[in-house]
């Protein structure tokens, strides 16, 4: 059984100012540790004149890889609080870099923790976060008398019809959430009197971004 998890569908930025120090957070979706490292290096080059470029990332569907860096700030005051925000949000395959331009005033341990974690929270507000949910694409073949019955089943169960092809028969492809697959197949068989030809095309992850359905190919 596949498990759902949250990702950044679209990254974003956020900024926080604390006692004249600027904390600029940039969050981006990544699929591997190599991508995360490349993104961190990209931010270092972009903000080459900053005092610190601290980072944190979580990679893998179950968060198998978790790394963070204080980049010269006192231990546990930057990278770890940033990572905790990502973990608290339940995000996977995400990397965030917080760039600090020093404002001349020391913030102390508590102040740094609040600033770095707060900057990440600001960045996440500007991101599009999507929950990737497991499902299956189910193709159902029926005669024209069965179309309305299948549409009714889909409507009652909140299942999306991805495609409908009309020839001498009708072929419909449904996106069925994993937890509804068994009951959907039972309903299709019952409503069509066992005449429907059912084929499972494969598993898929899907989600909704800005109200639009998104199918993921990985």
Domain positions in the chain: 5-126, 133-216
Q: With bands split at pLDDT 50, 70 and 90, how would you rate the model's confidence at 211?
A: confident
Residue 218 confidence (pLDDT): 66
3-state SS of the chain is CCCCEEEEEECEEEEEEECCEEEEEEEEECCCHHHHHHHHHHHHHHCCCCCEEEEEEEECCCCCEEEEECCCCCCCCCHHHHHHHHHHCCECCEEEEEEEECCCCCCHHHHHHHHHHHHHHHHHHCCEEEEEEEEEEEEEEECHHHHHHHHHHHHHHCCEEEEEEECCCEEEEEEEEHHHHHHHHHHHHHHCCCCCEEEEEEEEEEEEECCEEEEECC
Please give the average per-residue pLDDT across 124-143, as a whole number. 95
The CATH homologous superfamily to which domain 5-126 belongs is Impact, N-terminal domain (3.30.230.30)
Report CA-CA distances (Å) from 112 to 3, 16, 21: 35, 12, 10
What integer best gives the mean pLDDT of the chain?
A: 94
The answer, yes or no, to whether residue 95 has pLDDT greater than 90, is yes
The answer, yes or no, to whether residue 104 has pLDDT greater than 90, is no
The answer, yes or no, to whether residue 217 has pLDDT greater than 80, is no
The answer, yes or no, to whether residue 64 has pLDDT greater than 90, is yes
Neighbours of 57 (CB within 10 A): 29
The residue among 119 and 103 whose pLDDT is bigger is 119
Reading the block at residue 86, the tokens are 């990502």
Torsion of CA 28, 33, 35, 36, to 10 degrees: 40
How far, in whole angstroms, is CA 129 from its chain's centroid? Answer: 5
CATH architecture of the domain formed by 133-216: 2-Layer Sandwich (3.30)
Could you read off the pLDDT of 151-196 as tens digits, one per residue?
A: 999 999 999 999 999 999 999 999 999 999 999 999 999 999 998 9
Could you read off the pLDDT of 112-124 as tens digits, one per residue?
A: 999 999 999 999 9
How far is Cα 31 from Cα 61, in angstroms, rounded to an integer?
10
How far is Cα 115 from Cα 21, in angstroms, rounded to an integer?
9
Residue 1 confidence (pLDDT): 61
CA torsion sign for 197, 203, 207, 212 is negative
């Amino acid at each position: 059984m596949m498990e759902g998890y949250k990702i950044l569908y679209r990254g974003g930025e956020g900024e926080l100012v604390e006692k004249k120090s600027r904390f600029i957070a940039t969050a981006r979706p990544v699929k591997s540790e190599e991508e995360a490292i490349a993104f961190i290096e990209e931010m270092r080059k972009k903000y080459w004149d900053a005092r610190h470029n601290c980072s944190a990332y979580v990679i893998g569907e179950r968060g198998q890889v978790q790394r963070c860096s204080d980049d010269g700030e006192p231990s546990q005051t930057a990278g770890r609080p940033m990572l905790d925000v990502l973990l608290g949000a339940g995000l996977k395959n995400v990397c965030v870099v917080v760039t600090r331009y020093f404002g001349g005033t020391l913030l102390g341990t508590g102040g740094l923790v609040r600033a770095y974690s707060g900057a990440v929270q600001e960045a996440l507000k500007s991101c599009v976060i999507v929950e990737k949910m497991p499902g299956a694409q189910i193709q159902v073949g029926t005669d024209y008398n069965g179309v309305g019955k299948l549409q009714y089943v889909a409507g009652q169960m909140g299942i999306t019809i991805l495609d409908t092809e009309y020839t001498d028969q009708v072929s419909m492809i449904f996106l069925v959430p994993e937890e509804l697959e068994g009951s959907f197949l039972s309903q299709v068989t019952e409503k069509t009197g066992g005449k429907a030809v059912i084929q499972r095309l494969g598993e898929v992850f899907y989600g909704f971004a800005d109200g639009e359905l998104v199918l993921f190919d990985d």
